[in-house]
Structure 1
Amino acid sequence: MKPLIGVTTYREQSRWGVWDEKADVLHAVYAQTIEAAGGVAVLLPPSDADAALALVGRLDGLVIAGGADVDPWQYGAEPHERTEGWRPDRDTWELALLDAAWEARLPVLGICRGMQLMAVHGGGSLVQHVPDAVGDERHSPGGDEYGEIAVDVVPGTKLAGAIGELGVVSCHHHQGVREHPGFIASAHAADGTLEAIERQDRPFWLAVQWHPETREDAGLFRSLVDAASQ
């Protein structure tokens, strides 16, 4: 049987047809990439800790998807002037899912915001505005455009086993990971920005700062599906 891979979603005011309502939404490319890798995508809109426990017992893998800034209070920081639009419902929901997934040793892949939240879940903290540190907007050019960043993958890591020595990636973030207790760094951009982290004490607990679903970069999803199949 194909493994079931849960993917977290937004809950946003949305318009389609005659409707202008709150909806649970996510870019379809997430599900399409999971399906292409041999899994079945299950969308996970925000809920509560009890639902997280119930769901994790039925899933084979989990993706923490991209999205809004993480609430700085989750890691004990004052909001930067450019930190905005955080979603307490997603923070609470995804942290509960990570709690349950950790106990169940469920394979987890974090993407962009997902990497940041996984670091915070482990007791880490964030750089609230990457341009302050690197001096430019290359990681998020603005609007719906993706930045193109060259990354160096650390040899011998799970990430290297999944994608090799990857060159250019697509990114869309103004925040990044500063501290990541329990994780090792597995990729950096040339400007020093941390681009991937992973745990060595779990079969698959890995996160990247870029958006692999937007390019021909299915290796991460194949590795997740392979881990979920075990």
Structure 2
Amino acid sequence: MSPVHHRPLIGITSYQDEAAWSVWRQTASLVPQTYVDAVSRAGGTPVLLPPQPGGVGRLIEALDGVVLAGGADIDPARYGAAADPRTGEPHRARDDWESEVLAAALAHDLPLLGVCRGLQLLNVALGGSLLQHLPDGSHQQVPAVFVQQPVRIRPGSRLAGILGEHTKVNCYHHQAVARLGTGLQPTAWSADETVEAVELPDHRFVLGVQWHPETDPDDLRLFEALTRAARG
């Protein structure tokens, strides 16, 4: 198949939670359809990666790129902190699984995009820590409603090359980067100086954003950049 028509396989880490459909209500592996649509419309073939025992090495060998999807708060024990009362109940199986996926992706230099929780996991995995609760109403207001806010982007960064130096984004997070992980470079900030994006300059494509680009069907630039890197 010609490289022009090659659709790279993009793994999307997924939730394992109680869900309801038809007459059923039971534990399911799922991810918001917006992630699947964004990857597909950007030229990739989405592959869901639910928490599971083992098999990460073989899986990573088969993939061309990875999306670390948003979701629940990371267990604060992973960065040596006690849980704030406002931190959500940890999903340790997902924390374990995604940490393995992330480590293998970095070791194989697979293109990787971290979304919200995905950015936070990347930061924690590289030795960073998290601020467990931002001021109420600043980046997360009404439940299940995204907050649109402007961000400024570091000139000359990979992110600036994709989005320019200013853009508006859809946010929904109550935690953020505190201490940066080793090697990470902050590349975007909101008006209150919260870090909104990070990247690893010495990797082929490792980028984390605190916002939710998958919720904007009219702006696929981040997913298209990931797909281009994965195809390469």
Smaller-chain TM-score bracket: over 0.9
Aligned match of 1:24: 29
Pick the aligned partner of 1:35 from 23, 37, 40.
40
Matched to 1:156, the amino acid is G
The Cα offsets for residues 35-67 of structure 1, whole Å up to 9 and x where unpaired, read as: 11100000000013x321111000000000000
Using the alignment, how far apart are the partners of 1:118 and 1:217 within structure 2? 23
Pick the aligned partner of 1:8 from 9, 13, 38.
13
Question: What does 1:95-174 align with in structure 2 at a 5 Å threshold?
Answer: 95-131=99-135, 136-174=136-174
Using the alignment, how far apart are the partners of 1:197 and 1:224 within structure 2? 15
Aligned match of 2:204: 203
Using the alignment, how far apart are the partners of 1:126 and 1:17 within structure 2? 39
How big is the shift at 1:167? 2.1
How big is the shift at 1:203? 1.2
The Cα offsets for residues 60-83 of structure 1, whole Å up to 9 and x where unpaired, read as: 000000000000000000001101
Pick the aligned partner of 1:82 from 81, 86, 89.
86
Using the alignment, how far apart are the partners of 1:199 and 1:34 within structure 2? 21
Matched to 1:146, the amino acid is F
Q: TM-score, normalised by structure 2?
A: 0.95
Matched to 1:185, the amino acid is P
SS of the residue corresponding to residue 55 of structure 2 reads helix
Using the alignment, how far apart are the partners of 2:66 and 2:168 within structure 1? 25
User: Hey, which bits of structure 1, 4+ residues long, moved more than 3 A?
Assistant: none
How big is the shift at 1:217? 2.5
How big is the shift at 1:166? 3.6
RMSD: 0.9
Aligned match of 2:63: 59
Pick the aligned partner of 1:219 from 221, 224, 230.
221
How big is the shift at 1:102? 1.1
Matched to 2:137, the amino acid is E
8 Å CA contact 1:138, 1:149 repeated in 2: no
Aligned match of 2:97: 93
8 Å CA contact 1:30, 1:213 repeated in 2: yes
Matched to 1:117, the amino acid is L
Matched to 1:122, the amino acid is L
How big is the shift at 1:5? 0.2
How big is the shift at 1:7? 0.1
Count of aligned pairs between the two proteins: 225
Aligned match of 2:3: none
Using the alignment, how far apart are the partners of 1:142 and 1:95 within structure 2? 30
How big is the shift at 1:142? 3.0
Which residues of structure 2 form unaligned runs of 5+?
1-5
